[in-house]
């Protein structure tokens, strides 16, 4: 609702009279025409040169002078075009967004997840209203990139006067959440409050007088339980009642005012520690938390392996061997069994048959690598990661690892981009935005792209050296961990600046919202396929083209002898290093038909994991770090990869 005078109304606009300025004589005169407090009027025609204004009052048209019209104050019921969901991180904002819109959004249970905002719509047809899930913020005085985005979006909506705010509040942390609410009340924008986690507040003995809180703040308050959907329908039905709050206070008295409000509306009853709270205490205490963390990570690793291998053995491998291979053999015969088109689409026939590991065609190895070898492990990883996010365990892991992370110039929250990087380095690099300084973001992004192989790369490494057991896997992953640790220490020593202290909320343990959980996993898988499949197919196409044109053989003759002497790798491995720029997992797959020894496989896998990001990650690094820092990071990667490769060649 917007308070304006009649002269500011547009032709055809309706409004309700809320006040008439002036003496009794003016009020009486206007009342005679039916213009009085509470009456709805419609502006028929605008004024020309401050001339009379024609209004429709009831079924009658009346004309009043410009001066009189300026004294009639009205509320214009403007239809808003957008809804901003604003609140602290981890209050269930993204789950409410998903409930309102029904569209996909990654709703995670740790601060800083939604750095980019998400959009959707509520309603249908002409009644559609845009809903925006604004990045979580604790204050309208931004201290991080995410909070800057939130404040900019709010200010833009206030300027354009085309939206309302749904302020999502955590009922279990009312005092802290009211800090943002009181700041929003001072902004010139209609709002409504969703008091979320209402059920959890009652379970832990918190009682809130909603009616009293509404009277104090002057805006509608709807209790909600986003995970079950309780209160969301009522929230939608009350959107038209969004209005500008009435609470007035001095900025330097804000916390004092919050204290007064809490004393009036909230009562906390005594209760005993629940099992979940005891579990929370155990997993955050260093003495018990670290052993539990190691146990959890080992179990999760086994779960990823179990799901991944199950999908491969019982679904994808049978599909490719029993259905896809015969279809490709038919296509091979149609193409004549040889030639450049056959080599690009089908690849080389091994003993007259298609070998998905060695044929290396677009429609054979290209699809097999991504769908039958990589996708199963990526799916398993995203299931596990999404559960860790939504359950509330990740912030606890960040706190436990904070001391270790400070040794490499980061704080505990940097574990989040590292874990995301295990799925795919691209969202991992994006997630470095939750780190406060440019120095931290550079260190985290560089360490991740060198030492944190994506799940696609991990799947290929396991396929390549996993058959040798610990003797194959340990040297590769030990090298990556040692380089991560020593490289971080060196960058921490030589890069100017300090590592900020950790600053994060530790949420209560919660069961994930099942629909949101499934949606999140599905979105991540789809996103991965969109990112990975085009590059894997492009990589296979370019590799075949380069082989057909003899370019890889030529490059092998020039670079091969040097690489053979320093790294102990055959000339044929040059092609894998060249293609690694497009997709590292594809490059590792190119090593399969070369018949390398265990030593050569370890060196090649380690160098490929470290030496250069795939082209998608490279593009994101350029965007996030800028060209200068991206070049620095690239030089560090290449130098480190070849130094470690040479060292492994000497040691093994």
Phi, then psi, of 44 in degrees rounded to 5: -85, -50
368: Cβ–Cβ under 8 A, 6 or more apart, which residues?
320, 324, 356, 357
pLDDT tens track for 66-81: 888 888 888 776 667 7
Judged against a pLDDT cut of 90, whether residue 217 lies above it is answered with: yes
Judged against a pLDDT cut of 80, whether residue 183 lies above it is answered with: yes
d(CA 126, CA 479): 59
Q: Is 511 exposed, middle or buried (0-12, 13-18, 19+ CB in 10 A)?
A: exposed
Question: What are the DSSP calls for 365-434, one per residue?
Answer: IIHHIIIIIIHHHHHHHHHHHHHHHHHT-HHHHHHHTHHHHHHTT--GGGHHHHHHHHH-HHHHHHHGGG
CATH class name, domain 82-268: alpha beta
d(CA 157, CA 167): 14
d(CA 161, CA 157): 6
d(CA 51, CA 465): 87
Looking at 173-285, list the stretches that DSSP marks H as alpha helix, in order from N- to C-terminal side: 174-185, 198-203, 210-217, 232-237, 254-265, 275-284
Strands (E), 46-97: 53-57, 60-64, 72-76, 82-87
The sign of the dihedral angle between the CA atoms of 158, 161, 163, 169 is: positive
Q: According to the model, what pLDDT value does residue 127 have?
A: 64
List the one residue out of 309, 308, 328, 331 whose CA is nearest residue 320: 328
Q: According to the model, what pLDDT value does residue 173 have?
A: 92
pTM of the model: 0.70
For β-strands 14-20 and 72-76, DSSP reports them as antiparallel
Helix 438-451, helix 598-611: angle, nearest 10:
160
572 alpha-carbon distance from chain centroid: 40
DSSP-assigned beta bridge partners for residue 170 = 196
Ramachandran quadrant class, 197 (left: phi over 0; alpha: psi -120 to 50; beta: rest): left
The sign of the dihedral angle between the CA atoms of 247, 251, 253, 256 is: positive
560 alpha-carbon distance from chain centroid: 42
Across the beta sheet with 129-133, the strand order is 118-122, 129-133, 82-87, 163-170, 191-196, 221-223
Q: What is the DSSP letter of 414?
A: G
Judged against a pLDDT cut of 90, whether residue 208 lies above it is answered with: yes
d(CA 35, CA 600): 91
d(CA 89, CA 558): 55
Share in percent of the chain as helix, strand, coil (round to 5): 60, 10, 25
561: Cβ–Cβ under 8 A, 6 or more apart, which residues?
571
Rounded average pLDDT over 418-435: 82
Q: What angle do CA 169, 170, 174 make, to 5 degrees?
A: 85
List the one residue out of 205, 193, 196 whose CA is nearest residue 170: 196
Same fold, 2-76 and 82-268: no
Rounded average pLDDT over 606-631: 82
Domain boundaries, the chain: 2-76, 82-268, 287-504+512-651
d(CA 308, CA 339): 36
Q: According to the model, what pLDDT value does residue 111 have?
A: 42
Q: Do 43 and 92 touch, CB atoms closer than 8 A?
A: no
Rounded average pLDDT over 377-385: 87
Mean pLDDT of all residues in the chain? 84
d(CA 91, CA 197): 8
Is residue 82 very low, low, confident or very high in pLDDT (cuts 50, 70, 90)? confident
For β-strands 191-196 and 163-170, DSSP reports them as parallel
Percent of residues, the chain, with pLDDT higher than 90: 25
Among 176-190, 220-234, 334-348, 482-496, the minimum mean pLDDT is found in 334-348
Helix (H, G, I), strand (E, B) or coil at 228: coil
Q: According to the model, what pLDDT value does residue 88 have?
A: 92
Rounded average pLDDT over 170-175: 93
Top pLDDT among 168 and 430 is at 168
Q: According to the model, what pLDDT value does residue 345 have?
A: 87
Helix (H, G, I), strand (E, B) or coil at 138: coil
Architecture (CATH level 2) of domain 2-76:
Roll (2.30)
Element (DSSP H or E) covering residue 195: strand 191-196
pLDDT tens track for 115-150: 455 677 776 455 678 888 888 889 998 877 778 888
Q: What is the DSSP letter of 307?
A: H
d(CA 557, CA 568): 15
d(CA 191, CA 5): 22
Q: According to the model, what pLDDT value does residue 529 have?
A: 82
d(CA 244, CA 75): 12
Element (DSSP H or E) covering residue 120: strand 118-122
Q: Is 273 exposed, middle or buried (0-12, 13-18, 19+ CB in 10 A)?
A: exposed
């Amino acid at each position: 609702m917007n308070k304006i005078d009649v002269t500011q109304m547009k032709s055809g606009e309706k409004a309700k009279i809320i006040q008439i300025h002036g003496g009794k004589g003016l009020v009486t005169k206007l009342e005679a025409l039916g213009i009085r407090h509470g009456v709805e009027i419609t502006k028929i025609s605008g004024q020309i040169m401050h001339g009379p204004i024609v209004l429709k009052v009831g079924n009658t048209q009346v004309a009043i002078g410009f001066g009189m019209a300026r004294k009639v104050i009205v509320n214009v019921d403007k239809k808003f075009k957008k809804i901003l969901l604003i609140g602290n991180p981890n209050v269930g904002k993204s789950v409410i967004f998903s409930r309102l819109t029904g569209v996909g959004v990654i709703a995670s249970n740790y601060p800083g997840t939604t750095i980019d905002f998400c959009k959707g719509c509520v309603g249908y047809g002409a009644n559609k209203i845009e809903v925006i899930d604004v990045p979580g913020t604790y204050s309208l005085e931004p201290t991080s990139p995410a909070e800057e985005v939130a404040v900019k979006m709010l200010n833009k909506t206030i300027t354009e006067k085309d939206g309302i705010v749904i302020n999502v509040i955590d009922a279990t942390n009312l005092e802290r959440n009211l800090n943002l609410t009181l700041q929003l009340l001072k902004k010139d924008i209609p709002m409504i409050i969703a008091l979320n986690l209402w059920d959890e507040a009652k379970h832990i003995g918190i009682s809130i007088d909603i009616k009293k809180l509404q009277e104090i703040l002057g805006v509608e308050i709807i209790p909600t339980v986003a995970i079950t959907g309780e209160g969301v329908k009522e929230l939608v039905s009350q959107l038209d009642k969004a209005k500008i709050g009435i609470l007035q206070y001095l900025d330097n008295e804000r916390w004092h005012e919050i204290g007064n409000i809490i004393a009036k509306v909230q009562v906390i009853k005594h209760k005993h520690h629940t099992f979940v709270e005891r579990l929370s205490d155990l997993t955050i205490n260093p003495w018990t938390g670290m052993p539990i963390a190691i146990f959890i990570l080992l179990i999760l690793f086994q779960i990823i392996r179990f799901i991944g291998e199950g999908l491969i053995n019982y679904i994808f491998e049978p599909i490719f061997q029993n259905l896809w291979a015969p279809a490709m053999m038919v296509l091979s015969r149609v193409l004549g069994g040889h030639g450049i088109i056959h080599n690009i689409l089908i690849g080389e026939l091994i003993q007259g048959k298609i070998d998905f590991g060695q044929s290396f065609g677009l429609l054979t190895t290209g699809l097999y690598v991504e769908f039958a070898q990589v996708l199963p492990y990526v799916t398993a990883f995203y299931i596990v990661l999404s559960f860790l996010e939504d359950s509330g365990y990740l912030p606890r892991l960040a706190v436990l690892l904070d001391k270790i992370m400070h040794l490499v110039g980061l704080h505990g929250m940097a574990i989040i981009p590292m874990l995301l990087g295990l799925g795919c380095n691209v969202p991992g690099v994006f997630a470095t935005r939750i780190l406060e300084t440019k120095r931290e973001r550079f260190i985290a992004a560089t360490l991740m792209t060198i030492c944190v192989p994506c799940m696609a790369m991990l799947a290929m490494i396991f396929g390549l050296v996993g058959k040798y057991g610990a003797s194959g896997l340990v040297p590769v992953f030990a090298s990556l961990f040692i380089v991560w640790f020593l490289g971080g220490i060196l960058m921490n020593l030589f890069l100017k600046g300090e590592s900020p202290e950790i600053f994060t909320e530790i949420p209560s343990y919660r069961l994930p919202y099942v629909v949101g959980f499934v949606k999140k996993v599905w979105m991540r898988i789809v996103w991965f396929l969109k990112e990975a499949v085009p590059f894997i197919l492009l990589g296979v196409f370019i590799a075949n083209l380069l082989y057909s044109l003899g370019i890889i053989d030529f490059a092998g003759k020039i670079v091969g002898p040097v690489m053979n002497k320093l790294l102990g790798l055959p000339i044929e491995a040059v092609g894998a290093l060249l293609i690694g720029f497009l997709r590292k997992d594809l490059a590792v797959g190119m090593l399969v038909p070369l018949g390398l020894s265990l030593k050569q496989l370890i060196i090649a896998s380690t160098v490929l994991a470290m030496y250069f990001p795939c082209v998608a990650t490279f593009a994101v690094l350029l965007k996030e770090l800028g060209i200068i820092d991206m070049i620095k990071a690239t030089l560090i990667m290449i130098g480190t990869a070849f130094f470690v490769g040479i060292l492994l060649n000497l040691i093994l």
